[in-house]
Amino acid sequence: MSNEPNGFIKKYLILPVVSTAFFTLFLAGSCSRINQRTFVPFDKTRTISNDVEKFGEPFGIAVRDGEIFVSDGATGKIRRISNNQTFTLVSDKFDTPSGIAFDKNGNLIVADSETHTIKRLNVSNGEIELVAGVENQKGYADGNSNAALFNAPIGVAILEDVIFVADTYNDKIRVIENGKVMTIAGSEQGFADAERGFEAKFDTPCGLAIWQNKLLVADLENRRIRVVEIGGETRGKTWTLAGNGAENSTDGFLNQASFVAPTAITVDLFGAIYVADGNSIRAIGRKLFAAVETISDTKRGYADGDLRPSKFNSVSGLASDGSGNLFVADADNQAVRVLTGLDVGVEMTTETIKNSRFKPEEFRTLQPPRWTYNPPENKREIAGTPGEIRGEIKDADSQAWFHNGLDIVGGYGETARFIRHEKVLLPVSTENFATLRELIRMPTLGYIHIRLGRDATDKIFDDQRFQFSRDERGKLTNVRVPRGAKFAAGEAIGTLNSMNHVHLIAGRSGAEMNPLDALILPGASDVIAPTIEKVSLFDENWKPLGETESNTPRIKLNGKIRVVVRAYDRMDGNAERRKLSVYRVGYQVLQADKTPLSEINWTISFDRLPAAEAVKFVYAVGSKSGATGETIFNYIASNHVNGDEFREDFFDADSLENGNYILRVFASDFFGNQTTREIEIIVLK
pLDDT tens digit string along 195-247?
A: 999 999 999 999 999 999 999 999 999 999 999 999 999 999 999 999 999 99
pLDDT at residue 20 in the model: 44
- Residue 549 — pLDDT band, cuts 50, 70, 90? low
Angle at 314 between CA 502 and CA 46, to 5 degrees: 140
**Is 60 exceeded by the pLDDT of residue 23?**
no
**Is 90 exceeded by the pLDDT of residue 150?**
yes
**470 vs 288, which has greater pLDDT?**
470
Q: What is the dihedral of CA 500, 300, 209, 91, to 10 degrees?
A: 80
The whole-number average pLDDT for the span 17-46 is 54
Least confident of 418-427, 500-509, 572-581: 572-581
The secondary element (H helix, E strand) that includes residue 13 is: helix 6-13
CB-CB neighbours of 463 under 10 Å: 16
The secondary element (H helix, E strand) that includes residue 341 is: none
Cα-Cα-Cα-Cα dihedral sign, residues 71, 72, 77, 80? negative
> Which tens digits make up the pLDDT trace of 465-489?
999 999 999 999 999 999 999 999 9
- In 3D space, the residue among 336, 354, 353 whose CA is nearest the CA of residue 47 turns out to be 336
Contact 481, 440 (CB under 8 A): yes
CA distances from 454 to 280, 415, 451 (A): 34, 9, 6
Least confident of 136-145, 256-265, 627-636: 627-636
Least confident of 29-43, 159-173, 604-618: 29-43
The whole-number average pLDDT for the span 638-656 is 96
Dist CA 673 CA 665 (whole Å)? 14
**Is 80 exceeded by the pLDDT of residue 161?**
yes
Cα–chain-centroid distance for residue 535?
37
**For the CA atoms of the chain, what is the radius of gyration?**
28
The whole-number average pLDDT for the span 375-396 is 96
- Residue 183 — pLDDT band, cuts 50, 70, 90? very high
Cα-Cα-Cα-Cα dihedral sign, residues 492, 313, 478, 133? positive
**Is 60 exceeded by the pLDDT of residue 648?**
yes
- Residue 550 — pLDDT band, cuts 50, 70, 90? low
Residue type, 306: D
- Residue 533 — pLDDT band, cuts 50, 70, 90? very high
DSSP string, 370-412: --SSSSTTS---EEE-TT-EEEE-SSTT--EEE--SEEEE--T
- Exposure b/e, 363-402, CB count within 10 A at least 16 = b: beeebeebbbbeebeeebebbbbbbbbbbbbeeeeeebeb
Prediction pTM value: 0.92
Residue type, 36: Q
SS3 of 195-216: CCHHHCEECCEEEEEEECCEEE
Phi, psi of 363 (to 5 degrees): -60, -35
Dist CA 28 CA 520 (whole Å)? 61
Dist CA 639 CA 585 (whole Å)? 10
The secondary element (H helix, E strand) that includes residue 325 is: none
Report the SS3 class of residue 358: coil
Dist CA 305 CA 298 (whole Å)? 15
Dist CA 345 CA 323 (whole Å)? 14
The whole-number average pLDDT for the span 15-30 is 45
Dist CA 673 CA 115 (whole Å)? 50
Number of residues assigned to the chain = 685
Dist CA 62 CA 59 (whole Å)? 10
CA distances from 613 to 264, 293, 387 (A): 27, 23, 12
The whole-number average pLDDT for the span 267-281 is 96
The whole-number average pLDDT for the span 109-127 is 98
pLDDT at residue 552 in the model: 59
Dist CA 586 CA 642 (whole Å)? 12
Angle at 255 between CA 249 and CA 259, to 5 degrees: 20
Phi, psi of 273 (to 5 degrees): -105, 135
**Is 60 exceeded by the pLDDT of residue 454?**
yes
**Is 50 exceeded by the pLDDT of residue 274?**
yes
Rounded to the nearest integer, the mean pLDDT of the chain is 92
DSSP string, 20-42: HHHHHHHHHHHHTTTTT------
- Report whether the peptide linkage leading into residue 375 is cis, meaning its omega lies within 30 degrees of zero: yes
pLDDT at residue 19 in the model: 45
pLDDT at residue 287 in the model: 84
Dist CA 287 CA 272 (whole Å)? 9
- Residue 413 — pLDDT band, cuts 50, 70, 90? very high
The whole-number average pLDDT for the span 537-557 is 84
Dist CA 347 CA 495 (whole Å)? 45
The whole-number average pLDDT for the span 80-102 is 97
First to last CA, the chain: 76
Percent of the chain with pLDDT over 70: 94
